[in-house]
Amino acid sequence: MSHNNQRNRVGADIAKRSCSKEAFIQHEKLTESEVGITEYVSTMEGFSAILKARYSDFHVNEINLQGQVAKLTSLEPPHFQEVVVNKEECEAAVEKILPNCCNEINTMLTSESSEPLQFDITDMSKEDRKNFHKNIKMIYQSTVIAQTINNDDRRFIKIEKYNKNNESCQRLKWPHNIGDYVHFLVYKECLDTMEACLRISSALNVKASSLTYAGVKDRRAKTTQWFSIKRYLPERIVNKTKGIRNVKVGNFEFKEEPLKLGQLKGNRFCLALRNVTVDNSIIESQMKSLNDNGFINYFGLQRFGCDKEVPTFAVGIKLLRGQWKEACELILKVKKTDFPRSDTTKAKQAYATTSNAQLALTEFARNRRTSLEYRLLEGLSKNNKNDYVNALSNIPRNSRLLYIHSFQSLIWNRVVSMRIKKFGLKPVIGDLVVIGNIAENETNLSDSESEEKNEIKGDSNINSRSKVKALTEGELDQYSIFDIVLPLPGYDIVYPENEIKNYYEELLKSYNLSLEMSKQNVKTYNLSGTYRKIMGKVQNFSWKVLHYNEPDDVLIRSDYEELCGEKEPEDQPNGKFKALIMDFCLDPCSYATMVVREVLKTDTNSVAHAKLNNYFEAENCKEENTQSKDFEKEHDLLSNKEKFEEFKKFVFAADDDGEPPSKIAKTDD
């Protein structure tokens, strides 16, 4: 291939890549200012860098209530160690709770009948039920299955023979010397937590609700977090999940209680900012400022859905006003940013033109389980034509609550910006603080940096039942800006006793809502309100500069990569590009993107960062242009005397038959 052809091909490839990238960028995204994110802590000038150029640039590891960071270190299921059982003591304990129970079980085991036994335990205490199950397991081990069931208003213990062909029995068969709940780590890449949960539950052949987790993690990231499930042998979990792409499970433990949403202390983040061009001294100054002064605890853009045409808070406003039809219409609205060939877009288009929900449902070939639009259309098709309330209830409750929590977050962001703009970064009279020990009031009800579509209790790390007080002049010296909280609107909260309360009132009034956020008939959409600290601080903070050569160089090693023996990425001293690696921990419900924003002083809008992500293409073009100039200079006739003379002979000279010479000095292709 000639040099020119090669150059043209490279240029075409670059153009093709750029064009493809632009084609899939959704330009109508919310900007930070549109959701109230306007202020900074530091007045230092920021610098340019790219956030999430690759999803492998963003790592999240959950921190449990004991302060342990979730890290995948083993993929092997644990081995059970049998404990010697004193059968007589166990039988005596059972007989004390349910007399003659063991005799009936022994009779059942020796009979040919498969009929189960049932014992009424409606009046039995929780402690007795727990001891009964524990001792039955120790006496009979895998020969019987015992479970608690409800029948009308009565509660029974059902005991049946173990049947290896019964899937339910396989799950209920359980070693007697371990807790009922399996806790394990889930490492995932480029999947949000709900999607990972659905894939795992499908592989295990259980309902998604059988799996529980403490918090929701990002999609465009590599994350590690705890899951739990009741009585499912780790060996089976490992075997059945092997085929799930981008998911690994391991580090199994057995506990008496399931994992619940909010049972986390925070998250550890390790992220890479690419193509940093400023001197290291500027980076060092910014890192020191961040560590010393913290950041404004804004709700990040992912909280609002990022789509400018129909942000999540727009639906939330309709729900809070009781405008059910309008809420449905917004959820099903065909947007400019919708991918035209997706099932969801086709279904929304069909509904927009026909108002026939049943017909619109036929457009779905895939994504039924994870599509909110599918669930809403299904609800519309099953209920009466104008029964929008019940149609909405077909959407999972957590997802519906997202909409109204998004509106709360919008109000909170705007108010905190006004508070800082008006009063600065010091406590003032009328500011709110939590009374008592903050640690006792922490609920840890959510996760930081979670994907927007599942984070519903991530408003605060302060208990919504916490008592707050307004500061007086004499108390100002006792508190810092890091103690100040602002409420998320609701019917059961206290507002600051200064100008900020008036601003809340004005904002809510502009949406035809009041400070009291009065309760409505549909309880799901009532908001009690909560409190959120206006400032956040990074913990266990470290950073380093890493040089690299290629745009797809891996800059951070994940848990799984370390487990597989891959080496930690090393600095390339002569690398063409420079990255900033930041490692820190945050409290629940704080956003790592807001930490990055404080450092860079730029919008965290994904479109803005995507536009910066062609830096390597510009570098390639620069190299190509340099090569082109060198090539042109080398083969330029005016700069090469010998070739110029050959050219003249070719043009002006002629053979005897009047034709130009058949050969001239040969040049390279």
What's phi and psi for 590, nearest 5 deg? -105, 145
- The edge-to-edge listing of strands for the beta sheet with 144-151 is 117-120, 154-161, 144-151
Distance in angstroms (rounded) separating the CA atoms of residues 653 and 661: 7
- With residue 266 as reference, give the H or E element that holds it: strand 266-274
Cβ(410)–Cβ(452) under 8 Å?
no
Q: What are the structure tokens assigned to 262, written together?
A: 């909010």
Cβ(581)–Cβ(272) under 8 Å?
yes
3-class secondary-structure state, position 16: helix
Residue type, 531: Y
Residues assigned a catalytic role:
218
Q: What's the first-to-final CA gap in the chain, in angstroms?
A: 8
Residues in contact with 125: Cβ distance below 8 Å, sequence separation at least 6, in sequence order: none
Cβ(225)–Cβ(248) under 8 Å?
no
CA 132 to each of CA 99, 157, 386, 660: distance values in angstroms, whole numbers, following the listed order: 12, 10, 51, 109
Q: What are the structure tokens assigned to 104, written together?
A: 């009936």
Q: What are the structure tokens assigned to 595, written together?
A: 């930490």
Distance in angstroms (rounded) separating the CA atoms of residues 117 and 108: 8
Cβ(402)–Cβ(327) under 8 Å?
no
Strand ranges (E), 88-221? 117-120, 144-151, 154-161, 181-189, 212-213
Strand partners, 585: 268, 539
The DSSP secondary structure of 480-516, one letter per residue, reads: -GGGEEEEEP-TT----SSHHHHHHHHHHHHTT--TT
Q: What are the structure tokens assigned to 115, written together?
A: 């009929």
Which of 139, 1, 14, 8 lies closest to 83 in space, CA to CA? 139
Strand partners, 36: none
Residues in contact with 649: Cβ distance below 8 Å, sequence separation at least 6, in sequence order: 661, 664
> What sign does the CA torsion over 282, 622, 610, 576 have?
negative
What's phi and psi for 145, nearest 5 deg? -120, 125
Distance in angstroms (rounded) separating the CA atoms of residues 198 and 475: 51
Which of 350, 307, 312, 317 lies closest to 331 in space, CA to CA? 312
Cβ(468)–Cβ(435) under 8 Å?
yes
Which of 465, 514, 468, 461 lies closest to 492 in space, CA to CA? 465
